[in-house]
Amino acid sequence: MMLMYTDHSFDASQNQPWNYGDLVRDLDLKPIIETMAGGDDFIAQVVAKALVIGVDDVDTILYRQGVLEDTLRNIDTVRSVYAIITQAITEGRRRLFWIPNPSPESVVFASVRTLEVYLDTLDKVREVFDASASQFKSAGFQNLIRSLDYRFDRNYLYSIRLMLSSLEFPSGVSVAVRLGDEAELTDFTLINPQRKRGLKGLLAFIERSRYTWDLPERDEAGAQEMGEMRNRGLERVAKVLRKAATDVLSLINALRTELAFYIGCANLWGALSTLGIPLGFPTPREPGVDTLGFSCLHEVSLALRMKAKPVCNDLGTVKKPLLIISGANRGGKTVYLRSIGQAQLMMQCGMFVAAEMFESSISSGVYTHFKREEDNELGGGKLDEELSRLSSIIDHVKPNSMVLFNESFASTNAREGSELAKQTVTALLERKIRVLYVTHFYEFPLWFYENRPSPAVFLVAERKEDGTRTFKVREGVPLETSFAEDVYSKIFGDHT
Amino acid sequence: MAFQSILFKDPRKVEKLIRTPPDFFVDLGLNNVAKELVKGLDEFNIEPLFYTPLDQTDEIVYRQQVFVDIENPRVMRAIRVFSDRFRMVLAYINNDRLYELQRQGLFLKAVNVYCESLRDLAKALESAGIRSEGLQALRDYLGNYLNTSEFNNLRTDAKNTLSKITSVELCLTIKGGSISVSKCDGAVDYSEEVEGVFERFMASGTIGDEEVSKPIYIRGHVEEVVLEFAAKLYPDVFRALRDFYVKHKDFLNETIARFYREIQFYIAYLRYIEPLKKSGLMFCIPRLTSNKGEVNCRDGFDIALASKLVKKNSVVVTNSFHLRGKERIIIVTGPNHGGKTTFAREFAQAHYLAKLGVPVPGSEATLFLCDTIFTHFERGEAVESLRGKLEDELVRIRNILEKSTEKSIIIINEMLGSTTVKDATTIGRRILKRIADKDCICVYVTFVDELALTEGVVSYVSQVDVNEPDKRTYKVIRQPPNGLAYALALAKKHRVSYQDILERVKP
């Protein structure tokens, strides 16, 4: 209902993107979605889609940011409208139900009921908004309020209610028919059930020859046939009423869906501010320039899981299509990669980010290719699986997409893995696809490093002189060795 | 000669139809073709036509000519329309579930449709420049029939009665379990009023039909009651309807009814090959020859497989074959799943279909008018030991050699798999010698390259793309056997090499 797009509503029935499972798993989106839902299943469903189905134009992102700001400012009003609608839908579900392939007659019946219930709801919603209209500054909310006022003004609602009562046909269904070319009854035309006759008309009506037949008891076939005759008379109005009822219902649902998204955002805002994490609205940059920069960016899920404020990272704004992150194992590389992926998704759905500053070019799709820890197959099968996942990504990426690799091709030896990585990344860059690659390979980063001018920014997981990790990632040259030995000695306690 | 049958030049043959499929039907995949061809046509019993090949060239040509005429879209459309309408007519007059007045009404409709369908068919045949003996005879027959006073009276009566019936208007009121019927007095359409009030909602798109189910039109006793009331309100109209019914009870012409049944054979076949043609595959009318050294087919394919593939939108590979001079035996070798069996089926199917008088796969074909086709395919089940398997195979090939004549076609698919290559070569050569002595045409699919080097045989080889050994081309080409097959597999399997990615991701 125009809170998420300037010209249409968010389609909550659309499919998750094909890689939804990968995104949730690789970017650890579950805690984010749960926190946004705050126990409301409907919000959970909506944000699970909205979060990953981002928009790819700056204007729409800014439009949503405006609505979100309004929501944060008027959270009580927004929650009460959401409550009115949720209650009406729950109530409506209990009283009305739509059967599949309904007959015109049952459509007329159900539509009349539906319209009676939900037009009342819209009436109430309009009143709540009208009372605090001046508090809403965003274009989104203003559009919504204006459209409710325009489409459902009191006079119009009154004339609809009047017609709805005559569509209950208290004096039977009257139709005009003709005989067709096989002497069948055809061209059923509904006649106004409450047509006023003048005196003359009344006399003609009484004098006219009229034959009447009563359905015998238990004549079920006859009852069905008569029912279908009524259906034929009602077909046209059934379509009109169904359209109206569907429209009103989808309006209600769309409003509920879009409010659910913003309430979800507000829930996350609340949870993160409690942890003292800096929040702010990101700056979306036009696609194509490969801009990326941030200060004190947090991995949101890590914070939510730890219920604390974790280490944050900075990146002075760069304009390169390739980020290679190498360095110490367990040095925070994955967290770093995730935090960028999360922020990119949050930015593109119109949300705030968990950073003091974040700017990035808009991507036409975010894809992840992470090493799967739990794949315990033998080497060959594992590489096969990795390549097949890569192939699915290749099926979908397009210029200006963003692909996050995490230790990809690590299932084979370093030389082969490096070669695969090199070929993959080179081809993706040629197709103007942004790549962020976490790796412990040496050859692969070095190749991009020595190829000047390099398309890449090189980052390393920081390690102090004494060997301890800070879990910070900084710009630096790719390191020669990984830190597997460190991890080993930490876990086993010696170097042998 | 007066028109009798569109299927047979000499219609006495109609009695000789074979009711069971030939032995080779399953091996050639033709059982599936026949099954699909006759789908929904049970009432016509056309299945035997596919089991009954024609042996006389003039009978084959009689059908081929009709197919050529029907290729003309105008003729095809006219015949399809005629067939659909005639089917309706039969359904109308055979409807026994109706009440009296309803039945009279439907009879009237049947006669009207019948008259129109005949006139339209005649008109189309007149103007379409048809060449076939069969359709020309039909056209002349129709021309005469439509000029008879019998037909013209029927048609005029039907039209007059119809215009009376369609002038009837009624007003029904249904309330609870009662229905009342009267004449109408210019009633106002209430639906329009409702649409007016809800106009605002109509702006954004229209409602889909699926959201309100279509009312079911039931012709039951309630309608009959309404018609009986209508007969009281409009007595003259219904008297005319009854008179028409009594007068024209036996209006169907038997010759035309037979044409309607027989033309289903052509319609069914063309309907079957239509999607194949749409996908770019070609069909042609073959020339039949008694000279084996003239056999030739360009761009042919396995019709059963093609039909399956086209449904899945997969690409169908075409293959050509020919025999020259004394050439009789084709040996097909090459990688597995490379299209060898398909090629053999293509060869045999073309020869069988040609004998049905129908178009065959290919852009151009000259085919041998064979007496029969023998197939020798591997049998999956039944035989346990290798020895038993070889025995079974050799018994079968012996029986085939006994029954075959110099006009037969023999298809052998992967025989001798249970022996060593050396033995398979020796035995295979002996069998080839026997076939050669018979002067039969034979297609022999085998993994034994050596057989393809036998003197006097023609070698066809299924192809592998050396750059993409995983991918099968299904192309079978006339060339010497090449032992290498597809040893160089692997790599690029997932299509994610540098080149692949560039190809798959559009800039």
Chain B partners of A2 at a C-beta cutoff of 8 Å? none
Angle, to 10 degrees, between the axis of helix B235-247 and the axis of helix B100-127?
60
Average pLDDT for B179-200: 84
Overall size of chain A counted in residues: 496
Report how far Cα A180 is from the mean position of its chain's Cα atoms: 52
Q: Is the Cβ pair B180, A107 closer than 8 Å?
A: no
Average pLDDT for B252-265: 94
Query: Distance between CA atoms of A454 and A475, rounded to whole angstroms?
Result: 14
Whether the pLDDT of residue B336 is over 90: the answer is no
CB atoms within 10 A of CB B244: 22
With CA atoms as reference, report the closest residue to A298 among A266, A272, A328. Answer: A272
Confidence of residue A97 (pLDDT cuts 50, 70, 90): low
- Give the burial string for B344-382 (b: 16+ CB within 10 Å, else e): bbbbbbbbbbbbbbbbbbbeebbbbbbebbbbbbeeeee
Query: Distance between CA atoms of B34 and A78, rounded to whole angstroms?
Result: 67
Whether the pLDDT of residue A488 is over 60: the answer is no
pLDDT of residue B205: 58
pLDDT of residue A380: 38
Whether the pLDDT of residue A147 is over 90: the answer is no
Q: Which residues contact A145 (CB under 8 A, 6 or more apart)?
A: A129, A130, A133, A136
Overall size of chain B counted in residues: 507
A277 DSSP 8-state letter: -
Please give the share of chain A, as a percent, with pLDDT higher than 90.
53
Residue tagged 């008088």 (tokens): B357
How does DSSP assign B482-494, residue by residue?
-TTTT-S--SSTT
Of B112, B207, B217, the CB nearest to A242: B207
Query: Distance between CA atoms of A484 and A495, rounded to whole angstroms?
Result: 11
A98 DSSP 8-state letter: P
Of B178, B204, B505, the CB nearest to A398: B505
Whether the pLDDT of residue B275 is over 60: the answer is yes
- Which residues 365-394 of chain A have a CB within 8 Å of chain B? 384, 387-388, 390-391, 394
Residue B344 has, within 13 A of its CA and on its CB side, a CA count of 31
Sheet with B364-368: strands ordered across: B287-289, B364-368, B296-300, B319-322
pLDDT of residue B469: 44
Confidence of residue B496 (pLDDT cuts 50, 70, 90): confident
With CA atoms as reference, report the closest residue to A246 among A121, A98, A103. Answer: A98
pLDDT of residue B488: 32
Of B169, B204, B505, the CB nearest to A394: B505
Q: Is the Cβ pair B183, A209 closer than 8 Å?
A: yes
**pTM for this one?**
0.61
pLDDT of residue A482: 42
- Which residues 152-211 of chain B have a CB within 8 Å of chain A? 162, 165-166, 168-185, 187-191, 193-195, 197-198, 200-202, 204, 206-207, 210-211
Query: Distance between CA atoms of B454 and A48, rounded to whole angstroms?
Result: 69
Q: Is the Cβ pair A177, B170 closer than 8 Å?
A: yes
CB atoms within 10 A of CB B91: 11
Give whole-number Cα distances, B318 to A420, B304, B445, in Å.
38, 13, 17
Confirm or reject contact between B222 and chain A (CB < 8 A): yes
| 3 state DSSP class of B228 | helix
pLDDT of residue B379: 74
**Please, is B416 exposed, middle or buried when counting C-beta atoms within 10 Å of its C-beta (0-12, 13-18, 19+)?**
buried
The pLDDT tens digits of the residues spanning A379-409 come to 334 667 788 899 999 999 999 999 999 988 8
The pLDDT tens digits of the residues spanning B93-146 come to 988 888 999 999 999 999 999 999 999 999 999 998 899 999 999 999 999 999
Confirm or reject contact between A203 and chain B (CB < 8 A): no
Chain B partners of A397 at a C-beta cutoff of 8 Å? 505
With CA atoms as reference, report the closest residue to B266 among B113, B79, B43. Answer: B79
The whole-angstrom distance between A354's CA and the closest CA on chain B is: 33
Task: Report whether A405 contacts A444 (CB < 8 A).
Answer: no
pLDDT of residue B203: 64
- Which of A285-289, B355-359, B378-382, B419-423 is predicted most confidently? B355-359
Confidence of residue A465 (pLDDT cuts 50, 70, 90): low
Whether the pLDDT of residue B419 is over 70: the answer is no
Confidence of residue A330 (pLDDT cuts 50, 70, 90): low
Query: Distance between CA atoms of B357 and B65, rounded to whole angstroms?
Result: 9
ipTM, 2 dp: 0.76
Q: Is the Cβ pair A183, B207 closer than 8 Å?
A: no
Please give the share of chain B, as a percent, with pLDDT higher than 70.
89
Q: Which residues contact B386 (CB under 8 A, 6 or more apart)?
A: B418, B419
Handedness of CA B137, B139, B141, B143 (dihedral sign): negative
Domains of chain A: 20-168+247-273 (no CATH), 175-230 (no CATH), 277-492 (3.40.50.300)
Task: Report whether A33 contacts A44 (CB < 8 A).
Answer: yes
- Which residues 175-194 of chain A have a CB within 8 Å of chain B? 175-185, 189-193
CB atoms within 10 A of CB A152: 18
Chain A partners of B499 at a C-beta cutoff of 8 Å? 427
Confidence of residue B288 (pLDDT cuts 50, 70, 90): very high
Token output for B238: 């219904």
Confidence of residue B207 (pLDDT cuts 50, 70, 90): low
Q: Is the Cβ pair A431, B502 closer than 8 Å?
A: yes
Lowest mean pLDDT among A105-109, A323-327, B157-161, B390-394: B390-394
